[in-house]
């Protein structure tokens, strides 16, 4: 299932790519976010998969996916963008075998320029490549329409955890993302990132973490805004956050769930496993990115001394986003020093399968 708006050429290219996949029991639902020229799709793709187009009366942003989920059948919904698609059908066995407590499976998302997609966390998916159990997605209310675009996956991931579910990552679920540049206004993007991520912290961060994480996000996005020449957008988002923060109802995650949500629990488990396999007393955190603070905290808690990269025999990748983590581990692994990934994604056991309908 994929939303689109005013990107007819991009949509047509994606539908052609989906039509090259082996035929399987799925349908493709296109949700047209009130394009100026209505989106069109063939009734059947080249491989025989049926398509449907749902036209929205207004641009609902990511929440347009909710309309697609309501219209879909089957147990799973594969969420795509109009410029992303699976590279094969291996993900079908992954979804059919997912334990009942897994409410979402996030993909290994590759950009066409040769690196992986940034964003996400061990239990926070990236919207252009994730599958949700349809009933759970709808029961939890889907994506919050207030967000428009950006950070809506974080909001839904927190609700999945609060509902007792979990999000899994499986490297056999591979998505290729063209990441079309059309319509990407960096001022608008920074404005949404600042406001929406602030809402997530306001809603779900425990009281002792909320202000710290809000300050940390503000610092991070200010640096990005300067680099991308989008300071006006950053400022707009900050003002919107300050004006709306008090309206965001608090549902703080309990400490154990918060540690999973931020990736801290995953970092602790990975470091403990690495220490058990081969002890190391010091390490350098390198290639820092999303939630590097959690990796540093997990290392210090485990008694590992943090040192500079120059003299370190052990390097720990400093991001909990799956794509950048895997890319950095691969690149750093070409050297002679020990390289540790801060979380280990255990693949879903596909030795026993059951039927499951798919809506793409």
Is residue 126 situated within a structural domain?
yes
Same domain, 214 and 95: no
When comparing pLDDT for 354 and 98, which is higher?
Answer: 98
Q: Among the three residues 136, 157, 182, which one is the final residue of a domain in this structure?
A: 182
pLDDT (tens digit, 9 = 90+) per residue, 273-302? 999 999 999 999 999 999 999 999 999 999
47 contact partners, CB below 8 Å, separation of at least 6: 18, 19, 20, 21, 22, 23
Is residue 350 situated within a structural domain?
no
Same domain, 209 and 178: no
Q: How far apart are CA 350 and CA 354, in angstroms?
A: 10
Q: Which helix (H) or strand (E) holds 301?
A: helix 292-301
Mean pLDDT of 71-83: 95
pLDDT (tens digit, 9 = 90+) per residue, 101-154? 999 999 999 998 889 999 999 999 999 999 999 999 999 999 999 999 899 999
CATH code at 94? 3.90.550.10
Q: How far apart are CA 68 and CA 29, in angstroms?
A: 6
Same domain, 53 and 137: yes
Is residue 278 situated within a structural domain?
yes
- pLDDT, residue 350, reads 82
Same domain, 243 and 161: no
- pLDDT, residue 358, reads 63
Bridge partners, 105 (sequence order): 131, 168
Residue indicated by tokens 């990552």: 169
Same domain, 126 and 16: yes
Provide the residue range defining the domain that includes 282. Answer: 263-340
- Residue 355 in this model has a pLDDT that exceeds 60: no
Predicted TM-score (pTM) of the model is 0.94
pLDDT (tens digit, 9 = 90+) per residue, 206-220? 999 999 999 999 999
Residues in the chain: 360
Same domain, 25 and 148: yes
Q: Is 233 left (phi over 0), alpha (psi -120 to 50) or beta?
A: alpha
Confidence band, pLDDT 50/70/90 cuts, at residue 37: very high
* CA distance to 26, 114, 179, 257, 291, per residue, from 263 (Å): 33, 26, 26, 10, 8
Mean pLDDT of 228-236: 96
Q: Among the three residues 137, 159, 182, which one is the final residue of a domain in this structure?
A: 182
Is residue 353 situated within a structural domain?
no
- pLDDT, residue 340, reads 97
Confidence band, pLDDT 50/70/90 cuts, at residue 335: confident
- pLDDT, residue 345, reads 84
């Amino acid at each position: 299932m994929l939303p689109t708006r005013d990107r007819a050429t991009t949509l047509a290219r994606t539908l052609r790519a989906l039509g090259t996949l082996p035929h399987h029991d799925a349908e493709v639902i296109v949700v047209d976010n009130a394009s100026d020229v209505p989106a069109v799709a063939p009734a059947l793709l080249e491989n025989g998969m049926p398509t449907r187009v749902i036209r929205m009366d207004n641009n609902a942003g990511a929440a347009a996916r909710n309309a697609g989920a309501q219209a879909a059948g089957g147990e799973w919904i594969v969420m795509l963008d109009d410029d992303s698609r699976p590279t094969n059908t291996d993900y079908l066995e992954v979804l059919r075998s997912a334990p009942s407590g897994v409410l979402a499976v996030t993909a290994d998302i590759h950009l066409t320029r040769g690196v992986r997609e940034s964003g996400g966390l061990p239990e926070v998916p990236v919207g252009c490549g994730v599958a949700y159990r349809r009933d759970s997605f709808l029961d939890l209310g889907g994506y919050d329409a207030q967000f428009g675009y950006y950070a809506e996956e974080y909001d839904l991931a927190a609700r999945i955890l609060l509902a007792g579910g979990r999000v899994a990552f499986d490297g056999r679920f591979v998505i290729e993302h063209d990441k079309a540049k059309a319509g990407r206004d960096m001022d608008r993007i920074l404005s949404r990132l600042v406001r929406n991520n602030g809402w997530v912290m306001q809603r779900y961060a425990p009281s002792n973490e909320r202000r710290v994480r809000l300050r940390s996000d503000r610092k991070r996005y200010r640096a990005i805004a300067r680099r991308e020449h989008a300071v006006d957008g950053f400022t707009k988002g900050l003002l919107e956050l300050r004006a709306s923060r008090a309206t965001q109802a608090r549902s703080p995650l309990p400490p154990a769930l918060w540690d999973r949500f931020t990736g801290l629990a995953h970092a602790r488990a990975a470091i403990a496993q690495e220490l058990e396999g081969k002890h190391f007393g010091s390490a350098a955190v390198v290639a820092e990115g999303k939630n590097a603070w959690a990796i540093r905290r997990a290392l210090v808690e485990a008694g590992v001394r943090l040192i500079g990269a120059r003299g370190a025999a052990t390097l720990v990748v400093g991001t909990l986003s799956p794509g950048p983590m895997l890319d950095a581990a691969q690149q750093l692994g070409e050297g002679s020093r020990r390289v540790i990934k801060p979380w280990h994604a255990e693949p879903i056991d596909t030795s026993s399968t059951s039927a499951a309908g798919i809506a793409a």
